[in-house]
Amino acid sequence: MAVMDAQNPLLGETTCGTLLQKLQEIWDEVGESDEERDKMLLQIEQECLDVYKRKVEQAAKSRAELLVTLSDAKLELSTLVSALGDKSFLGVDTVKASGTIKEQLAAIAPALEQLWKQKEQRVKEFSDVQSQIQKICGEITGSANEQAGAPAVDESDLSLKKLNEYQVKLQELQKEKGDRLHKVLEFVGTVHDLCAVLGMDFFSTITEVHPSLDDKTCVQSKSISNDTLLRLAETVSALHEDKKQRLHK
């Protein structure tokens, strides 16, 4: 009967103590020697130690991975704050510098998310301004139609100060574009008047300078490049010279 009980599953709460007690009962029934019992107990103890050791190693590995994640998160937070140039970012002040690793990670996550969104918006603002600058520069140099691609945004400095510098530069270029356009229209008007006086075909004369200078092209689309301004000046000069020559005849 005792042998059958030993083979039955253990009932009730199972603990190390109850298992050891059951083992002692089995050994008593079998008649194991004290030497054999000590040997088995040492083996059990070693196996338990091995299990604990594996669990400790797993826990240590998990902790190390969490520490790396926390370190990376803190570094990214610092990098984002530095790039955005906002030392007083509210989310950073509220990030816990103490507590458990998981508590610190949980605290830093919302701040990172907010900074990522802020960075994305700031990059878009930089890209928009730089694209406009690139476009006007292309119009001035005469390379506006070349495929330059979107300008690269330096994500290491997305501060409002840097953005303001680009905006100031854009305003200066917009003013220069306006001045150039005004000069182009003055030249075109002069060419028109001189062609009328000299009986020359205005359309062919002006489009020879640049195709965009005819009356059908809207004002903002007219060429304002250095080359166009130079050729307009040369055309006006040549027409004036032609007019002068005719007057002397």
What are the 10-residue block averages of pLDDT along the chain, 249 residues in total?
Answer: 41 80 93 93 94 97 97 94 76 66 93 94 97 94 75 94 97 97 96 94 94 83 94 96 84
Asked whether residue 180 is assigned to any structural domain, the reply reads: yes
Asked whether residue 19 is assigned to any structural domain, the reply reads: no
Q: Which residue has the tokens 């150039």?
A: 180
Asked whether residue 77 is assigned to any structural domain, the reply reads: no
Residue 3: the pLDDT is 37
Q: What share of the chain is helix, strand, coil (3-state, %, to 5)?
A: 80, 0, 20
Asked whether residue 91 is assigned to any structural domain, the reply reads: no
Residue 169: the pLDDT is 98
Asked whether residue 159 is assigned to any structural domain, the reply reads: no
Strand, coil or helix: 64: helix
Residue 214: the pLDDT is 84
Residue 159: the pLDDT is 94
Domain membership of residue 220 as a residue range: 173-249
10 Å CB burial of residue 3 (0-12, 13-18, 19+) is exposed
What are the phi and psi torsion angles at 144 (to 5°)? -65, -30
Residue 146: the pLDDT is 65
Residue 143: the pLDDT is 81
Task: DSSP letter for 31, please.
Answer: T
Distance CA(112)–CA(102), nearest Å, equals 15
Domain count, the chain: 1
pTM (predicted TM-score): 0.75
Residue 249: the pLDDT is 65
Asked whether residue 201 is assigned to any structural domain, the reply reads: yes
Asked whether residue 137 is assigned to any structural domain, the reply reads: no
Distance CA(193)–CA(36), nearest Å, equals 121
Distance CA(162)–CA(167), nearest Å, equals 9
Asked whether residue 191 is assigned to any structural domain, the reply reads: yes
